[in-house]
Amino acid sequence: MLIRKSDPNPIPSSEITPRSAYMNRRAFIAAGALGAAALAADRLAGVMRPEQVQADTKLATIQSPLSAKDLTPTSFYNITHYNNFYEFGPNKDDPARNAGKLQTSPWSVTVEGEVKKKKVFDIDALMKLRPLEDRVYRFRCVEAWSMVIPWVGYSLSEFIKQCEPTSSAKYVQFISVDRPSQEPGIEEVNLNWPYSEGLRMDEAMHPLTLLTFGLYGQVLPNQDGAPVRVVVPWKYGFKSAKSIVKVKFVKDQPGTTWNEMAPNTYGFYSNVNPNVDHTEWSQKMQRVIGAPFWKQLEPTLMFNGYGDQVASLYKGMDLNKYF
């Protein structure tokens, strides 16, 4: 495995601890003043004031029938303060502090591999490919915490159709941006860069899998994966690749960053499964970020609650083995 920086004591995910700081994409949003009651209520915490939002960050959206019902979204403040994005550092507040350095315009996504013809999509063209939908999804991190996030995007399958993969394409690989001068975590964190993730083709084509450009009706903040990422709501969060610059269609299961780093801990599939523990903690319960303290712990749902929609993808598979 190629590692840019040697470190005899790489930082395990279990040692990552949250702090508080914040920097938004293009400096377009400032966090509102938060009282203790607002933080506990979550629905009021960090709500954006209209005068703090630049008009050109707003996205025209339609409501999706695939959006989860009867779920209260996590506050914008918490979604943008509490992040895993190792390219900007290993701590939860590092992305909010450091991600403003990433230049997201101009931006393009290259498509290659098992396709009829190599293509390059400009980010603006990608955003106009299909109507953007508001989709409220549960989001579950492998570190046993969760959020409810109102994403903006459209089904990844719509993009894949434009890529024209051949019948040989069995998997889709996503490569994230690799710019050490703008992403200080690349030199700090001992991983195999650039970040790579992948899905089986039927997972990528499932309508719930979202090509994502925003949240809360605004363009994605840098710390949340700007300007384009995928969201796979029934899998642990690290499967949802951020700041994508390349999509490859391949015949064989691609190497993915965390699976290569620790294959006994981070499986290729990484479906949310309360019956398969992390090597360092149980996955049976999860901590709900921003919830009142008496509601912060709740049982983990199989497939993060999306079993009715996605369980058929894994019929006949031993999910304790193919975790």
Q: Could you state, in order of their start, the residue ranges of all structural domains in the chain?
A: 13-314
Which residue numbers in the chain have pLDDT < 50?
Answer: 1-53
Beta carbons within 10 angstroms of residue 52's beta carbon:
12
Total-model pTM: 0.84
Separation of alpha carbons 268 and 119, rounded Å: 27
What local confidence, expressed as pLDDT, does residue 98 receive? Answer: 97
Q: Give CA angle at 225 (159, 180), nearest 5°.
A: 115
CA-closest candidate to residue 29, choices 213, 215, 153: 215
What local confidence, expressed as pLDDT, does residue 55 receive? Answer: 55
Residue 126 has phi, psi (to 5 degrees) of: -60, -45
Residues in the chain: 323
On the CB side of 120, CA atoms within 13 Å amount to: 4
What local confidence, expressed as pLDDT, does residue 52 receive? Answer: 39
Contacts of 91 (CB under 8 A, 6+ apart): 16, 17, 18, 19
Q: Are strands 132-140 and 145-155 parallel, antiparallel or unpaired?
A: antiparallel
- Copy the structure tokens of residue 283: 């996955």
Instruction: Name the 3-class secondary structure at 29.
Output: coil
CATH superfamily of 13-314: Oxidoreductase, molybdopterin-binding domain (3.90.420.10)
8-state DSSP, 43: S
Separation of alpha carbons 132 and 129, rounded Å: 9
Give tens-digit pLDDT for 131-181: 999 999 999 999 999 999 999 999 999 999 999 999 999 999 999 999 999
What local confidence, expressed as pLDDT, does residue 83 receive? Answer: 98
What local confidence, expressed as pLDDT, does residue 57 receive? Answer: 86
DSSP lists the bridge partners of residue 175 as 196, 246
